[in-house]
Amino acid sequence: MDSDTNIYDVVILGGSLAGSSTGLLLSRRFPGCKIAVIEKSADFGRRVGEATVEVSGFFLSRVLGLTQYLNENHLNKQGMRFWFSNDQTSQLDQCSEVGGRYLARMPAWQVDRSTLDLEVLSQAERSGVQVIRPAKVNRVRLADGGLQTVDLETLGVRRTVRARWVVDATGFTALLARQNGWFHRNAEHPTSAIWTRWKKVKDFDGLELAGRFPEWASACKGVRGTATNHFMGDGWWAWCIPLKGGETSIGVVFDHRRVEIPPGDSIPERLRTFLSQHPVPRELLAEAEPVDGDANWRSHLAYCSSRFAGDGFVLVGDAAGFLDPFYSPGMDWLSYTVSRAVELIGNHLEGQDTKPLVGRFNQDFCKSYDRWFKAIYKDKYDVFGDFELMSIAFHLDLGMYYAGVVSQPVERGERALLEPVFSTPPSAVPFRLMSFYNRRLARMARDRRRRGTAGKHNNGRRFLLNGFLPERSTGSDILKAFTRYMKLELAEGWRSWFVQEPLENTPPIRP
């Protein structure tokens, strides 16, 4: 745009995965584009271990081209697995289990985010993106249709840069949303998380556990240890994510209206004490040691911006919103927001009128966030502690994800990532169906809790799936899952058909 070293085509705030992938994709599409990434840290600190799922795995491997890097530096993920307990379970093999019988059919990875972020940022820099770090952004002054102004400070020196486009990739900081009053917490979903990394966590697939519990070990024909293992409880769940090099990320997410983390002198101590109520993590952490300086607590996880883009700015990744770590939707959300942001900015650089594109951007992502929450996460924490209800919910959720979401990039390629989940007209029926059965399962869970029968099948049961494929054959699996759900409705759902509960007041988020 200008020979001035402080004027760019695009300035990206934040150099982690959302920001660096935006810069990398733009620089590949427009080699002469002048792009800067402003990153606050001199080095990426250790972050919570993250699991990709099938859509984000597609984005990382097929869109960014990181397949070889991921295979060499991170672990291949073997699906998701869930463990349940009750008063009758005292050891690991007695806990009820939900998961896959064999290996996963679609690629996904367990990733160390600090390592992954550095790799993508380095690739962006090699492709011509200028990286300014460490640098703190003090203020962003937006000008609709004009040059955006960014005031920053780097190594004690104040500096101002300008750009036609500013991309907010500041993660939970959500700089533009907070600065402009667009930031809204999701009051219907008051969740918090506590996590840390551990050394010497026992191996799910090791000889010790197989020797002590041979029948349990032989029930799964694949690999348990490199799955994302979930420990389930009433109003809470915990993740267990192994990372390359032997460390394991373990954390608890809980509805703080119903669950309290016990007091203690340190986060690892409090986490271990809380998880000791469940036989599976109690077994795995028996000899584990926390990694020094790698413990975190974050409150009020769910939030969203009421505006995602304008003529000169766009929000991507967690800067645009966050739902819940369960099912790992954050990386999918990143894939959609980054893909659409690159398309929006790219259209402007090619001379197109961006105003109608901005309007659709805001409309689609507001609808996607609102529907994603209501279809999957609203009241889900009522279901988590019950094996029978959660196995049905997972069976249906996974089938719908494969049939309606994973199938799109598999069949149509990366263009499918321009259509966020539930934003298109054909997605209205699946959205209503998923909202319906998840609300009904949550109501049945509350009814079971009132009757004292919640979690009665949490011991000695096993529900293992052969796996889903993103093709038409998935329809028969969804039908089987829905049949299981309907049988449950007829067996006990009628108890809550006529029970009056407070009317829901869940207005959608508006741009």
What's 40's domain CATH number?
Answer: 3.50.50.60
In a domain, 509, yes or no: no
In a domain, 144, yes or no: yes
Taking only the tens of pLDDT, the chain with its 511 residues reads 444 679 999 999 999 999 999 999 999 999 999 999 999 999 987 777 689 999 999 999 999 999 999 999 999 999 999 999 999 999 999 999 999 999 998 999 999 999 999 999 999 999 999 999 999 999 999 999 999 999 999 999 999 999 999 999 999 999 999 999 999 999 999 999 999 999 999 999 999 999 999 999 999 999 999 999 999 999 999 999 999 999 999 999 999 999 999 999 999 999 999 999 999 999 999 999 999 988 999 999 999 999 999 999 999 999 999 999 999 999 999 999 999 999 999 999 999 999 899 999 999 999 999 999 999 999 999 999 999 999 999 999 999 999 999 999 999 999 999 999 999 999 999 999 999 999 999 999 999 999 999 999 999 999 999 888 888 777 888 999 999 999 999 999 998 887 766 544 444 433 3
In a domain, 123, yes or no: yes
Query: Measuring CA to CA, how many Å separate 179 from each of 2, 142, 159, 434?
Result: 28, 11, 19, 35
Q: Which is it for strands 228-233 and 80-84: parallel, antiparallel or unpaired?
A: parallel
pLDDT of residue 501: 67
In a domain, 441, yes or no: yes
Task: Please list the alpha-helical segments (H only) found in 127-213.
Answer: 175-179, 207-212
Give the global pTM.
Answer: 0.95
pLDDT of residue 510: 37
**Same-domain pairing of 331 and 469:** no
Query: Measuring CA to CA, how many Å separate 239 from each of 6, 35, 48, 286, 482?
Result: 44, 37, 11, 17, 27
**Same-domain pairing of 341 and 221:** no
**Same-domain pairing of 373 and 418:** no
**Same-domain pairing of 203 and 271:** yes
Cβ atoms of residues 87 and 235 within 8 Å: no
Q: How far apart are CA 112 and CA 204, in angstroms?
A: 20
**Same-domain pairing of 210 and 250:** yes
Cβ atoms of residues 254 and 191 within 8 Å: yes
Q: How far apart are CA 455 and CA 328, in angstroms?
A: 24
In a domain, 25, yes or no: yes
**Same-domain pairing of 218 and 288:** yes
Which structural domain, as residue segments, surrounds residue 157?
Answer: 1-74+112-183+303-378
**Same-domain pairing of 294 and 198:** yes
CATH of the domain at 250: 3.30.9.100
**Same-domain pairing of 40 and 100:** no
In a domain, 507, yes or no: no
Domain ends where: 298, 320, 345?
A: 298
Amino acid at 58: F
**Same-domain pairing of 32 and 176:** yes
In a domain, 62, yes or no: yes
**Same-domain pairing of 140 and 8:** yes
pLDDT of residue 508: 42
Domain ends where: 281, 298, 315?
A: 298
- Phi-psi region at 132: left, alpha or beta (left = phi > 0; alpha = psi -120 to 50): beta
pLDDT of residue 502: 56
**Same-domain pairing of 51 and 140:** yes
Helices (H) and strands (E) in the chain, counts: 15, 22
The total domain count for the chain is: 3
Q: How far apart are CA 286 and CA 263, in angstroms?
A: 20
Cβ atoms of residues 241 and 50 within 8 Å: yes
**Same-domain pairing of 422 and 323:** no
Query: Measuring CA to CA, how many Å separate 430 from each of 195, 229, 433, 463, 473?
Result: 34, 27, 5, 24, 17
Cβ atoms of residues 437 and 396 within 8 Å: yes
pLDDT of residue 497: 86
In a domain, 508, yes or no: no
Domain ends where: 334, 360, 378?
A: 378
